[in-house]
Structure 1
C-alpha cells in the first residue's frame, strides 16, 4: 500500500511568522506516527523560511528509525550562513530518503522537476554521495518527463512525480489528461526499475482519484493541504483521513 509521508514544513512557517520556538515541527512527530503515517518529510531551504537545519536534526533524533524520514532539497544550492548545504544536512541527519529538487532560492514552492537529459551528468556524483550515506535517492520530475532512463543510469532509486498540474486540473474538473501523463510516467519508471513517489498539492479531494489512476505509487508526500485541513479537524484525525483514502484506493 502507498506510504503516507507527512510534510511538516507549514508548522515551521507558522512558527517563523512570529518568531520564537512554537509551534515546533518536532512536536508533531508523535501525533503523526501514532495516527499511522509511515513517514515524515521536510524541505529545508537556504533562506530558512521553512524548517531550519536545527529542525532537521531535531526531527532526525525524534524519528530515530520509527518511520521513514524524507529530506527534500536542491543539492546545488550553495552553503551559506545558517544553511550548511543539502548534502551536509543529509550527512548529519541520515534520512531514509533524499529527494532532490531543482528549486531556486526565490521560489515560493517547488514548481518543476529536473530536465534529466540536461541534469543527469551533474546529478550522478550527488546520487553516489547520498547512496554512500545510506540514503535512498529520489529525483523530482514532471509528469511526461523525457529521459527517465537517465535517472536509472545514474543510480537513482525513485522518481517523485510533480502533481501540481494534476491538482489544478482536478480542481477544474478536467483531470483526465494529467492523470494519463502521470500514469504513463509511472509505468515507464517502473519498467526501468525505478520506484515511484508523488507529491505537491495532493489533498483529500484529489488523492483517491490519483491513486486509482496511478496504482504504482509507493509514497505520497503531503504537507500544505494536510496541515491546512488539520487546523480544523486536528492533526491526528486528518492523518487518519488520508490513510483511509489511501486504503480505499488500494482496494479499488
Structure 2
C-alpha cells in the first residue's frame, strides 16, 4: 500500500497571514491523521514563511504516524532533524529564496556531499530520502550515497498529464524500475492531485509514499479536510 503523507505547509501559510494561531497547525496535523493520513510532511524554510521551526518541535510531540521533514541540508536543518529524529528526512536542493521545490538533486555532482549528509542523518535514526528528477543517470549515484529512498519530482508529470498522460508518465515508470532494481524505496511528490494521482499509482504500483500538500489543501476548501483525505486515499487504493 502506498502511504499518503499530508504536507501542512499551506496550513501554516494561512495561519501566518493573520499573525495569530488560526488555523492551528498542530491540531490540523492531528485531525489529518485521524481522518486517514498516514504521515505528516513539513518543509521549514529559513525565512519561516510557512512552517516555523517551533512548529516542527511542537509537531514532533504529537505526530503518531510518519513525520517527514523536508529541507535543504544546511546547518539549521541538520540540527533540527537530529533533535527531532523524524521517521524520514527528505533532502531537497532548494535555495533559501525558492517559492517551492522545482528540481531534484544532481546526484552526480553532489554525490560526495550527499553521502556525508545521509550518513550523518542515518546515525540519528532517520530514514533518508533524496528528491530526484526522473532521469536514469541520477539513480545509481543516488544509491551510492547510501540513501534509503528517492522521491520522484512529479511536476513535469503533472504538467503534461492532460496533454498525453502515457507520455508524461513514461520516464517515471522507467526510473521507478531502476530504483527498484537498485533496492531504493520510492516516494513521489509535487503537483499530484485527485486528477493525476491514480494513474501514477497504477503505472508504479510499488510506490511507498506520496507527499501532497497544495492540491489537497485547495480541495479541502470545497470538500472538507476529512472527505478530501479519504478521496486521496481512495485514489491510491483504486489499483491496489
Q: Report TM bin, short chain.
A: over 0.9
Name the structure 1 match of 2:11.
Answer: 11
Name the structure 2 match of 1:37.
Answer: 37
Alignment of 1:74 with 2:72, yes or no, is yes
Name the structure 1 match of 2:111.
Answer: 120
Structure 2, unmatched stretches of 5+, are none
Report how many residues are paired: 240
Name the structure 2 match of 1:82.
Answer: none
Alignment of 1:240 with 2:238, yes or no, is no
What does 1:154-233 correspond to in 2, within 5 Å? 154-171=145-162, 173-233=163-223
The TM-score normalised by the length of structure 1 is 0.93
List 4+ stretches of structure 1 deviating above 4 A: none
Q: Deviation of residue 206 (structure 1)?
A: 0.6
Determine helix, strand or coil for the equivalent of 1:107: coil
Tell me how far apart the structure 2 counterparts of residues 42 and 147 of structure 1 sit (CA, whole Å).
25
Determine helix, strand or coil for the equivalent of 1:210: helix
Determine helix, strand or coil for the equivalent of 2:108: helix
Tell me how far apart the structure 1 counterparts of residues 114 and 24 of structure 2 sit (CA, whole Å).
33
Alignment of 1:92 with 2:83, yes or no, is yes
Q: Deviation of residue 145 (structure 1)?
A: 4.3
Tell me how far apart the structure 2 counterparts of residues 183 and 58 of structure 1 sit (CA, whole Å).
38
Q: Deviation of residue 149 (structure 1)?
A: 1.3
Aligned residues: CA RMSD: 1.0
CA deviation digits over 1:111-164, x for unaligned, max 9?
000011101111111101100010000000011241311221121000000000
The TM-score normalised by the length of structure 2 is 0.97
Determine helix, strand or coil for the equivalent of 1:188: helix
Tell me how far apart the structure 2 counterparts of residues 241 and 213 of structure 1 sit (CA, whole Å).
19
